[in-house]
Structure 1
Amino acid sequence: MRKQPREHVKQSFALVLLVVLTVGAIAGPTGLLAWAENSEVLAEREARIAMLSDKRDALKNRVDLLDPNGADPDLVGELVRKDLGVIHPDEIVVTLEDE
């Protein structure tokens, strides 16, 4: 008769442990419910990475155009006019907003 209460305690403990593990698998930080949220965050971060990659490529192109061994004359002229304010009296400057 003494073995029955012990077995009952062991089985109850095993059941509680199983329930806790199941709840963790469903509602935990890496569970099934968090999966959808993680997918949304992943999609947002991938979009941000794509935007930043495009921006990086544009900046790399601009750096390549400013190479000291063969700078693009149009870009150099644009930068001189923009940064130093060097404009001939008969020139008309049209500025475009950067994106």
Structure 2
Amino acid sequence: MIIRTRWRSFFQTVTLHLGAAALVGYFAFQGYNGQYGLLARRTFEQQHADLTQERDKLQAQRKALQAKVALMSPDLVDADMLDEQARALLNLVHPKDLVLLRVPGGPQAN
């Protein structure tokens, strides 16, 4: 009977330690690989950097478009902008203009 209580005490201790180790292991695994773990944080940071870069690019495009629209506002009309838009809409060219023809579907120059 004393032997049984010693074995029981030994197995209870081992079971307690294994259970605690499993619990610590589970939380360590989730802390590294889980939905909000270290690997997920790296992914979130990369997505944040990509989206920030895209946002900055779109803001620059918006500022360029706003500047172009401001040049065509009724209060202040830029002669060059008006001339460029009129020629583009009417497909007219001044006889002294140099015309560069582009191949359709070819590389576009910005």
- TM-score in terms of structure 2 length: 0.64
Deviations 1:21-41 (A, max 9, x none): 332221112111122222222
Q: Report the RMSD for the aligned CA atoms in angstroms.
A: 2.9
Q: Which residue in 2 is equivalent to 1:33?
A: 39
* Identity level (%): 24
Deviations 1:23-77 (A, max 9, x none): 2221112111122222222221111111111111100100110101221110010
Q: Relative contact order (C-alpha < 8 Å, sep 6+): which is higher? A: 1
Where do 5+ consecutive residues of structure 2 fail to align?
101-107
2:73 is aligned, of 45, 53, 67, to 67
For 1:77 and 1:65, the matched residues in 2 are separated by 12
How many residues end up aligned between the 2 structures? Answer: 95
Of structures 1 and 2, the larger Rg is shown by 2
Matched residue type, 2:91: G
* 2:96 pairs with 1:91: yes
Where do 5+ consecutive residues of structure 1 fail to align?
none
Mapping 1:52-63, distance limit 5 Å: 52-63=58-69
Q: Which residue in 1 is equivalent to 2:104?
A: none
